[in-house]
Structure 1
Amino acid sequence: MTVFCDFLLNRVSEPRLQAPAPDRETLDRAFACAARAPDHALLRPWRYLVVEGEGLEALGDLFASTCPNNSDERQIEKLRKSPLRAPMVIVAIASPTAHPKVPEVEQIMSAAAGVSFLELALQDAGYGVMWRTGSVAYHSVVRSGLGLAEGESVVAFLYTGTVSSEKPPVPRPEVSDFVQRWPG
């Protein structure tokens, strides 16, 4: 096995994150890796927002604003505090454009592949990362509050920081559980 394959086989999502977050140089290098995602016709159908500091509180307020007026206060507070689980949240946005040979779904998958590359680059630099979405990722209030244009969508809220405590190992499926030969 190569060092790269070993790295992939040991990759985990880390939910317990603290400061420091990646510095500008590390982040720029990780975004450069994200831009290497497969991209049919070189449309670059993605963009990112980096949220830190007071921006995390504003993001929490935006999340909380998605709750109906009769919502449980605990649910509202949970949403309000959720971005504070990391010192940095990177909002990954799929930004597809009309193209005769590249369907929108391919462009969204390209954006998602970029998030995976970004996640791996940050983990390679020694940071923990947790890819999150949830109902807020698809809510019109959040899309509007983040300044998404018509047709854009949130692919991920990438919570990023230094791992504060590692989580227990997660069982992984056997390859034979999800791979078949065709025709069989």
Structure 2
Amino acid sequence: MSGALDSPVPPPVLAAAQARRSYSKVTDDAPTTAELERLLAAAGRVADHSALHPWRLIALRGEARVRLGRALAAAAGASGSAAASLEAKPLRAPLLIAVVFSPQPSHKVAEWEQEAVASGVAHLMSLLLHEAGWGVMWRTGPQTRAKKVATMHGLAPTEKLLGWLYVGGVPERAGSSHDKATPLKHRLSTLEG
């Protein structure tokens, strides 16, 4: 039986996934709140056992990025040039989207499964932003789960930060695409019988 994957023209989702890449440098353009809401409506359809929605996103623009930089430096106990370097990191993109894992009480759905849902939303949002023409990179770091960084974001005690999607315009010269094929040799196996 032949399917869409056998077609010379790949299905749109496959083509989008194959084209996705991370942009470490972006321009100062950024999607509007309305555009983010439209994309999030689609990203929120990720597989979610019991429809718990154990995630939320926080858009950081303008001075909020400066406050995040200060929180990163404080969480690291950095000073001098090390602090300046950490403080500058959130300024690499005009929009940062904090991905928050927000576990929900459930006797059926384990916390690890809920965190996987939040990660799925982040990845799907990244893919959708890329497909909409935005440069995106999912960044983390040693201070991602630091208390000072959580406080800066206003997280509840049970919530955990999964990192930030750095979003901006795609530069005219985007550089190399880092198109490294995923080695499949040990990534797919089959059990039969």
- The ranges of structure 1 where at least 4 consecutive aligned residues each deviate by more than 4 angstroms after the TM superposition are none
Pairwise CA distance, 1:156: 2.1
Which amino acid is the alignment partner of residue 170 of structure 2? V
C-alpha separation between the residues in 2 aligned to 1:67 and 1:176? 39
1:26·1:125 contact (CA, 8 Å) conserved in 2? no
1:26-37 equivalence runs, <5 A: 26-37=35-46
Counterpart check, 1:99 vs 2:112: no
141-150 or 100-109, larger mean C-alpha shift: 141-150
**Cα displacement string for residues 76-124 of structure 1 (whole angstroms, at most 9, x for unaligned residues):** 1111000000000000100002210000111111011001111111111
* Residue 154 (str. 1) matches residue 161 (str. 2): yes
3-state SS, counterpart of residue 176 of structure 1: coil
- TM-score using structure 2 length: 0.88
The 3-state SS of whatever aligns with 2:69 is: helix
Matched, 1:127 2:127: no
CA distance in 2, matches of 1:162, 1:133: 20
Q: 1:83 — aligned with what?
A: 90
SS at match of 1:156: strand
C-alpha displacement at 1:73, in angstroms? 2.2
2:16 & 2:45 partners in 1: Cα distance?
18
Deviations 1:38-85 (A, max 9, x none): 1111111011110001111111111111122xx452221111000000
Identity %: 31
Deviation at 1:159, TM superposition (A): 0.3
**1:177 to partner: Cα distance:** 3.8
| Aligned-partner SS, 2:189 | coil
1:172 aligns with 2:171: no
Could you tell me which amino acid in structure 2 is paired with residue 122 of structure 1?
L
Instruction: Give me the whole-angstrom Cα distance separating, in 2, the residues matched to 1:67 and 1:134.
Output: 11
Larger Rg, first or second structure (1 or 2): 2
**Aligned with 1:41 (options 20, 44, 50):** 50
Q: Does 1:54 align with 2:43?
A: no
Label 1:112 to 1:153 Cα distance change in 2 as closer, same or farther (>3 A). Answer: same
Count of residue pairs brought into register by the alignment: 182
Q: 3-state DSSP class of the match of 1:154?
A: strand
Q: Aligned AA for 2:167?
A: T
1:9: which partner in 2? 18
**Structure 1: unaligned runs, 5 residues or longer:** none
Tell me the amino acid that sits aligned with residue 94 of structure 1.
F
In the aligned structure 2, how far is the partner of 1:65 from the partner of 1:183? 53
- With normalisation by structure 1, the TM-score equals 0.92
